[in-house]
Structure 1
Amino acid sequence: MTTSTSPLLSARGVRIVFPGRHGAPDARAVDGVHLDIRPGEIVALVGESGCGKTTLARALLGLVEPTAGRITFDGRPLEYSGRSLKAYRKRVQLVLQDPSGSLNPRHTVYDAVAEGLRIHGHGGDERAVVADALSRAGLRPPERFFLRRPHELSGGQRQRVVIAGALVLEPELLVADEPVASLDASVRGEILALLLRLRAELGLSALVVTHDLGLAWNIADRVAVMYLGRIVETGPVEQVLTAPRHPYTRALLSVLPEAPGEPVVLTGEPPDPSRVPSGCRFHARCQVLAGGGADRAGVAEACRGRDPEILDGGGATQVACHWAHAGKG
């Protein structure tokens, strides 16, 4: 699916630390991430709540400046001046989880979609551009929707309006944060099919942030699984999801309805970025370590005491796991 080997968007060694309040330890929300997105590629960033995926997405959008590391777009480092960010956000657009939260209830559909054009000073035929974006987003005939307000639309139609609002600026990359989480199952498939069609028609790239591996399977070319601020497994979606090597990826997959065997119930505390453990950050909840598998492979000590290397963010299948590298994963 990719059209080029050089990344459109690239994160290198990105760290985002939020200072703790009232003497509390700092929170390492993103703790060393390399991630590439190539032209025409859809990458799913997957993990449970609190793993840092939304903070990373915000950094990739230029909404949060990294504490360390750098982000480049089209080969150039992201700059944080107002003018540079405005130009950048024309090329990289956000699609939020809850369309009703991102649409002003007092605005018509036309005004909601035209807002980006007005902010960025579009000089052409506004009405034609708005109509084209609505049509591409599957709201046809578009003129029928111009004067409607969000409360007059279904959830799926509202999400299409949000997508149309992103499309009017002809971006190269969409960052979609849980784009179908608030929608009924019947509508989810339609929105995912729309995103795939937009990629085919416009050559769009996308980063889809989700906790749902099933969604990743249906839409992504490549998946990056995130745990406690770091990507722990990445690769082509079919390879990672049919032959997962990291115990965390295996646990996430085990709870899908179609998964074979019993679901893996993760014990221990959910990820807390202000208390990142030594060694492998997953070791305190790892079913392989708890079940003696790491001991048998001779890596239990490494799991508890040695941090696995940061994955390089490219297209190859990679895993940050001592047990998997011992030939067991």
Structure 2
Amino acid sequence: MTTTPTPLLSATGLHVTFPGRRGAPTARAVDGVDLDIGEGEIVALVGESGCGKTTLARTLLGLLPPTTGAITFGGAPLGYQSAALKAYRKRVQLVLQDPSGSLNPRHTVYDAVAEGLRIHRYKGDEREAVAEALSRAGLRPPERFFLRYPHELSGGQRQRVVIAGALVLKPELIVADEPVASLDASVRGEILALLLSLRDELGLSALVVTHDLGLAWNIADRVAVMYLGRIVETGPVEQVLMSPQHPYTQALLSVLPESGAEPVVLAGEPPDPSRIPGGCRFHARCQILASGEAERSGVAAKCRTEALPILAGGDTTQVACHWAAATPAAAESEKAL
């Protein structure tokens, strides 16, 4: 029996709540999440706006302390003292979706990339470190970009500068929040190829936060689909996207042009995180329940009344759905595992 390697980052039982205003109920933005990221692994965290994925990413970065739950990195618990967080943020870096907003227009490219070195009081050759980071990010020769300002660069070049700013501290993990959302289609592929090459060359791990399942297919080893504060389906990207078990995942995939499926239009808006429904949290919008398929499978009552457990954070295919658990396809998937 092989021993499962310790994940680089592991979150267990994470809950993040925000108090409501003027007596309103507490919002459960992250409502029970287990998630592991292995060394050299790219995990895509996928879901529509408002599902809690950005709050989860901020919590994993140490920017928000969890209300309950724990995060470990390299097998050690994450501490929230200032010195511990500073050391952690050297090893885990953030790449934001809008390079125009995250780059100071008054700073040169050199200063933007060197900022992290100065914060962490880097003792080596600053110029050499900045040049290496820019080169790794695909801006070559790097010296050509030192004295340029963000407005003098293309959108793709600005995103590469942001990536270089993360790479300069030689992190082990990057968290990329919608890393290509603001870029033209012609540039998106170049940035995704860059992230993949960084994984292959440096052994870099990444959590890619996105609403785009097509992006997840192109870059991720594993995907975690999030709905209303909780991961509802997870597993290797090929299994989840080729044979989605959860109705929510099926609906997200149906709108991709290459899916060939009839687009599924979900009823209503995502529920308020301060009023999470009982039973399956997706049941009020579920196309399987609405069509009568859940009733025919004998699980409609469960869908409306019986809550589902938190999925484990490992790399096996898992789904939080009463209907999927009752269907032959799901049983075959479990048997294959």
In 2, are the aligned partners of 1:45 and 1:53 still within 8 Å (CA)?
yes
Q: Structure 1 runs of 4+ off > 3 angstroms?
A: none
1:145-224 pair list within 5 angstroms: 145-224=145-224
Secondary structure of the 2:258 match is: coil
Instruction: Return the offset for 1:271.
Output: 3.3
In 1, are the aligned partners of 2:228 and 2:271 still within 8 Å (CA)?
yes
Q: Is residue 125 of structure 2 the alignment partner of residue 101 of structure 1?
A: no
Distance in 2, Cα, partners of 1:116 & 1:209? 22
Residue matched to 1:301:
301
Instruction: Return the offset for 1:158.
Output: 0.3
In 2, are the aligned partners of 1:61 and 1:92 still within 8 Å (CA)?
yes
In 1, are the aligned partners of 2:8 and 2:38 still within 8 Å (CA)?
yes
Unaligned runs of 5+ in 1: none
In 1, are the aligned partners of 2:37 and 2:43 still within 8 Å (CA)?
yes
In 2, are the aligned partners of 1:51 and 1:271 still within 8 Å (CA)?
no
Instruction: Return the offset for 1:269.
Output: 2.6
Distance in 2, Cα, partners of 1:224 & 1:162? 25
Secondary structure of the 2:259 match is: coil
| TM-score of the pair, normalised by structure 1 | 0.98
In 2, are the aligned partners of 1:50 and 1:271 still within 8 Å (CA)?
no
The root-mean-square deviation of aligned C-alpha atoms, in Å, is 0.8
Segment of structure 1 superposing worse, 188-197 or 319-328: 319-328
Distance in 2, Cα, partners of 1:261 & 1:214? 14
In 2, are the aligned partners of 1:280 and 1:307 still within 8 Å (CA)?
yes
Instruction: Return the offset for 1:94.
Output: 0.2
In 2, are the aligned partners of 1:227 and 1:271 still within 8 Å (CA)?
no
| TM-score of the pair, normalised by structure 2 | 0.96
Secondary structure of the 1:70 match is: strand
In 1, are the aligned partners of 2:228 and 2:270 still within 8 Å (CA)?
no
Instruction: Return the offset for 1:5.
Output: 2.3
Residue matched to 2:326:
326
Distance in 2, Cα, partners of 1:38 & 1:269? 34
Q: Is residue 47 of structure 2 the alignment partner of residue 47 of structure 1?
A: yes
Segment of structure 1 superposing worse, 178-187 or 265-274: 265-274
In 2, are the aligned partners of 1:93 and 1:173 still within 8 Å (CA)?
yes
The count of aligned residue pairs is 326
- Amino acid corresponding to residue 208 of structure 1 in structure 2: V
Instruction: Return the offset for 1:23.
Output: 1.0
Residue matched to 2:87:
87
Distance in 2, Cα, partners of 1:135 & 1:74? 28
Q: Is residue 263 of structure 2 the alignment partner of residue 263 of structure 1?
A: yes
In 1, are the aligned partners of 2:53 and 2:229 still within 8 Å (CA)?
yes
Unaligned runs of 5+ in 2: 331-337
Instruction: Return the offset for 1:270.
Output: 1.8
- Amino acid corresponding to residue 305 of structure 1 in structure 2: T
Instruction: Return the offset for 1:268.
Output: 2.1
Instruction: Return the offset for 1:6.
Output: 1.4
Tell me the alpha carbon deviations over residues 162-187 of structure 1, each in whole angstroms, 9 at most, x when there is no partner. Answer: 00000010000000000000000000
Residue matched to 2:140:
140
Instruction: Return the offset for 1:260.
Output: 1.8
- Amino acid corresponding to residue 232 of structure 2 in structure 1: V
Secondary structure of the 1:166 match is: helix
Distance in 2, Cα, partners of 1:221 & 1:5? 16
Instruction: Return the offset for 1:259.
Output: 1.1
Residue matched to 2:334:
none
